[in-house]
Structure 1
Amino acid sequence: MIYALLLGASAVVLVCGAVYQIIGTLRDRGRFPPPGRLVRFDKRRMHIHVIGEGTPTVVFESGMGASCLSWTQVQGEVAQFSRAVSYDRAGQGWSDPTSEPRTARQIAKELHALLNAAGVPGPYVLVGHSFGGYIVRAFADLYRHDVVGMVLVDSIHPAEWMNPTAEQRKVIHVGMRYAWIAAWLARLGLIRFCLARVARGSPRLAWTAASAFGTSATSAVQRIAGEIRKLPATVLPNVRAFWSQPQSFLSLAQYVAGLPVSARQSAAMLSLGDLPLVVLSGDHHVPPYTDWQRDLAQLSSQARQLVVAESGHWIHLDRPEIATQAIREVVAGARSAMRRQPSLPSSPKAQ
């Protein structure tokens, strides 16, 4: 009898959680419209946010799991001197999910198609943070003559994941498992509940609720909350809404699964020639990461590396003024080179 009561009580809790999630999702859609526009292609919609005017067009590529909102403190400043574009990859932010593999080359193709569908002209200066560094390198490899400069913001190096060790393969496996668990917890409203409690200054209750589903749930929620605290207060409600949705975690699992492939694809871009390049590195790195950061600056003969003091992995959040200045520097270098050279056709490698 007692087991039947417990089973019934559990069923009621699960149903209430699912209803809570559905109601919250519907409210979020009304409360948080996208700052840009939704562009439809390949039978789905992707969100792109374009502000400012001028050439070259600066295109921001976010880190793994991040949305266009991670560039909030930089995009507006860049728009003062050139066209600035941020967007949400499929399954992130306001963009619809996809079944296509989340690898650097595939994402670069989708970005190129989105820019064309949205009527955003090149040439482009690409700005890639963390995992976004893999994507901008793949984009430059595919569409070389559309790219006139690059800024790498604490980008991961291909060597980090190209040939994963047994420990790294375990990290990938565990990361995917956590993401799948978190997706189920999101469907049942627990992630939404926990993030709401954290937002109201009551994290202990959130951790206790998450721990009822295991230590993996607690770790997932704490990790999300830690990243959210890095973002400007004005966008926190939007980000909490994103991470209350299963699709955010399911997409994250796809990115993690494709890390080794993405690393190899980004490594295919061996050189930017003499294109202007700035490599921004946080001051938290230890060997071999310090060596890998220096190596990124070897991609161009017109490159420089800047180790940013008092900055962690999210340099554009910790020191947005430095990220903006680096982009300004590359845009100026690209404009100077563009004045000296005629326009070139798009690279045939992309076909």
Structure 2
Amino acid sequence: MTLPPRHPEERLRARGADTRPDARFEPYQRIRESDGWDYPEDPVLLRTEVTIEQARSIIARNTSPDITFDRSVNPYRGCEHGCIYCFARPSHAYLGLSPGLDFETRITAKPNAPDLLAVEIGRRGYAVAPIAFGTNTDPYQPAEARLGIMRACIGVLSDWNHPMTLVTRGATVMRDVDLLGDMAGRRLVTAGVSLTTLDAQLSRDLEPRAPSPTTRLKMIECLARAGVPVRVMAAPMIPVLNEHELERILTAARDAGASTAAMIPVRLPLEVAPLFRDWLDRHRPGMAAHVMSRIQTMRGGRDNDPRFGARMRGEGGEAELLHKRFKLAKKRLGLDGQSPVLDCNLFAPPPRSGDQLSLF
């Protein structure tokens, strides 16, 4: 896949992608050709647009054999953090938008998510199990600080005593530590904080609008201090770029208060692979061939291996060595335990005005 040239009328600041490759479902491909007369003197800064969507349902179900949850909620589509390696980028193609710049600049928010969540978990016959947040795009991306959709969803689940899990790299999670800490006291929540690197410059290049590594360690500390069990997500591990940091990442997270850890080798599904290759050519040209060669060694000679069982682990000696290092480091640092089992027995509708109170 050859990426299109950058739009000359746009000026980019802190973006992961550089172009807008066409979505894979589009019937036509658009190619820009300059006649020499269409270049503005002052390119306009590309800003993030947030569109409001009135969703019709909010709990997504899955039967994937290599993930640990069967239901999830995503209050947003797209993610302004702009992480170039994000496996969720191809999902923007379902909207007719580009997995490149559109994914990180054209965000869809679902403000009716909390109301839908209350309706769906309140249906007769609903079988309770933990709901996962942050499984596709980050629920604590920048728009959340203004819209508060995630906080309202947590409020709904807290009222119903419904368990939840959370993965984020967004600092706004610290705003909600009061709700999360209260739920943790009832064994209703665990949190995962993504910590990809301790190198501030690499973080700015890879994840241009995500919080710095220092801030993410503060997030772990804040959540752990409130009693929330925290798992550090050392993901993705990218050969040459950050995999040599694995042990140092786990040590820093343990010292900040993380109690368990997870690790996933980098995945480059569909449109992510050419976008990541382009990023390497722009930011790490001297390493590009070496990085991709090492990735392909873990993926059967391809940029990506989508097979269940292999997509989250990789295969071959390169992948096995990475997993052995991770296992040994977890054991040495005391991060090899399991996240606590969440309590599904407390689930019940919240009391309403006029309800008769229980005597017991």
Same fold (TM over 0.5): no
Bigger RCO (CA 8 Å, 6+ sep): 1
**Which TM-score tier does this pair reach, normalised by the shorter chain?**
0.3 to 0.5
Question: TM-score if structure 1 supplies the norm length?
Answer: 0.34
Comparing both structures, which one devotes a greater share of its residues to helix?
A: 1
